[in-house]
């Protein structure tokens, strides 16, 4: 469809949908590790041949998954429209940014600027890093700050703890190249993890992780919110018996840097001060922060510590309701229960009713969430950059 055709479809639908569009799930395959099979698909649907297995679901995504093998639209969310119209959210936002983001916000932002996802692996992810903006720009990409939320009531998998950074003494004594570079050159096993520290994936809690910090996420099902990017460099050669290609070490390293410095090119991109922070937990751990209480339910900040993105959790009691009003466009995942969202039926686990995007003009007006089921209704909201400049920040802790 042309830009004008997309604009015409959206303008016809915006009134009918009252500013709130349903979204189809965007399934993403990965070929280096097995799936955890907690995304609600049938067992046989996780295997997608040479692409690997479905290990992630991207939410309200305008980001293409950077896989070596896969369809051109992998990672992109589709607007659920009646009839023959079939439009990606990216095409919709690109064709009519003011409709989705509002005039003022669209004038200062090139897109939604964030990516939400569920990632679901049967083992720990490899020790890796996401490049800071100065390095990501060298390969035409964006940085990838990210935050995690570990939902409750889900099997945690075999390794529900995440490794972050390196032991502080490594940086304090200037040993980072002496300790890590030989392991990258050797590229075998998982010995590199002994130089890092692990923290439990506690249900209902999470972490905020800026770019430039090494991490090996645990096996807990994770709802992640991040910058709009898919850059990384893997630094671990093997995970639970599964070999990791060394090409993934250099996936987003500029060719001239790779040729000139080889393994050191990746280590040079790390934020060593942050990696060796002796108070890493205190400076990155996220606990829910209450931001709204009503008779029918409660709302918390669960993604915060940055202006690049933010997110909230709402729990509405059975038979209860909750009125919500926001500052700009956001998307919604229905994680538990069923009810209505501004009159639209919603239901967790029903892929036709569990994901929404709320356009700016609708988001800034009050709307009501109602719980029509017998269990708590739990929703998660995802916001892009600068929409919630008043979200909580993490107070820096230095031990003094």
Instruction: Provide the residue ranges of all domains of the chain, joining segments of one domain with +.
Output: 3-285, 289-383
**Residue 84 confidence (pLDDT):** 61
Contact 16, 10 (CB under 8 A): no
Q: Mind listing the pLDDT tens digit for each residue in 200-240?
A: 999 999 999 999 999 999 999 999 999 998 899 999 999 99
Q: Mind listing the pLDDT tens digit for each residue in 340-378?
A: 999 999 999 999 999 999 999 999 999 999 999 999 999
Give the mean model confidence (pLDDT) for residues 313-338. 98
Q: For residues 364 and 63, what is the distance between their CA atoms, to the nearest angstrom?
A: 25
User: Which band of pLDDT confidence, cut at 50, 70 and 90, is reported for residue 83?
Assistant: low
> What CATH number belongs to 289-383?
2.60.120.10
Q: For residues 227 and 390, what is the distance between their CA atoms, to the nearest angstrom?
A: 18
Q: For residues 135 and 87, what is the distance between their CA atoms, to the nearest angstrom?
A: 33
Q: Mind listing the pLDDT tens digit for each residue in 84-108?
A: 678 999 999 999 999 999 999 999 9
Phi, psi of 124 (to 5 degrees): -70, 150
Domains 3-285 and 289-383 share a fold: yes
Nearest to 222 by CA among 388, 333, 134, 306: 333
**β partners of residue 57:** 27, 118
Reported as half-sphere exposure (CB side, CA atoms, 13 A), residue 252 has a value of 28
**Residue 98 confidence (pLDDT):** 97
Phi, psi of 99 (to 5 degrees): -60, -45
Q: Which fold has domain 3-285?
A: Jelly Rolls (2.60.120)
DSSP symbols for 192-205:
GGGGSEEEE--TT-
Gyration radius from the chain CA atoms: 21
pLDDT at 140 over 70: yes
Q: For residues 188 and 186, what is the distance between their CA atoms, to the nearest angstrom?
A: 6
Contact 386, 43 (CB under 8 A): no
Q: For residues 90 and 92, what is the distance between their CA atoms, to the nearest angstrom?
A: 5
- Global pTM value: 0.96
Question: Tokens standing for 272?
Answer: 């060593």
């Amino acid at each position: 469809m042309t830009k004008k055709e997309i604009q015409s479809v959206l303008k016809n639908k915006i009134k009918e949908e009252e500013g709130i569009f349903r979204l189809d799930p965007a399934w993403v395959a990965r070929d280096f590790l097995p799936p955890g099979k907690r995304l609600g698909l049938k067992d046989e649907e996780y295997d997608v041949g040479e692409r690997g297995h479905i290990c992630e679901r991207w939410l309200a995504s305008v980001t293409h998954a950077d896989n070596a093998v896969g369809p051109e639209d992998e990672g992109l969310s589709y607007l659920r429209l009646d009839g023959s119209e079939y439009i990606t959210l990216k095409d919709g936002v690109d064709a009519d940014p003011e409709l989705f983001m509002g005039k003022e916000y669209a004038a200062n932002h090139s897109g939604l600027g964030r990516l939400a996802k569920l990632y679901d692996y049967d083992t720990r992810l490899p020790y890796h890093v996401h490049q800071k903006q100065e390095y990501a720009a060298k390969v035409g990409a964006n940085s990838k700050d990210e935050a995690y939320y570990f939902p409750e009531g889900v099997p945690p998998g075999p390794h529900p703890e995440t490794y972050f950074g390196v032991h502080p003494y490594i940086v304090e004594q200037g040993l980072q190249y002496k300790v890590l570079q030989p392991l990258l050159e050797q590229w075998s096993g998982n010995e590199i993890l002994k130089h890092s520290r692990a923290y439990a994936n506690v249900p209902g809690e999470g972490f905020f992780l800026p770019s430039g910090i090494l991490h090996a996420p645990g096996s807990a099902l994770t709802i992640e919110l991040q910058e709009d990017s898919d850059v990384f460099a893997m630094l671990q050669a093997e995970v639970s018996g599964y070999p990791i290609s060394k090409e993934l070490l250099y996936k987003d390293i500029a060719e001239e840097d790779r040729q000139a410095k080889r393994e050191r090119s990746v280590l040079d991109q790390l934020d060593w001060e942050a990696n060796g922070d002796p108070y890493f937990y205190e400076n990155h751990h996220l606990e829910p922060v209450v931001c709204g209480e009503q008779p029918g339910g409660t709302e918390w900040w669960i993604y915060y510590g940055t202006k690049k993105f933010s997110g909230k959790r709402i729990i509405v009691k059975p038979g209860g309701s909750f009125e919500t009003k926001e500052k700009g466009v956001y998307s919604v995942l229905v994680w538990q229960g069923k009810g209505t969202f501004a009159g639209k039926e919603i239901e967790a686990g029903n892929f036709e009713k569990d994901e929404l995007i709320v356009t700016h003009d609708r988001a800034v007006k009050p709307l009501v969430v109602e719980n029509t089921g017998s269990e708590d209704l739990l929703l998660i909201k995802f916001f892009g950059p600068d929409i919630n400049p008043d979200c909580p920040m993490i107070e820096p802790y230095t031990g003094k």
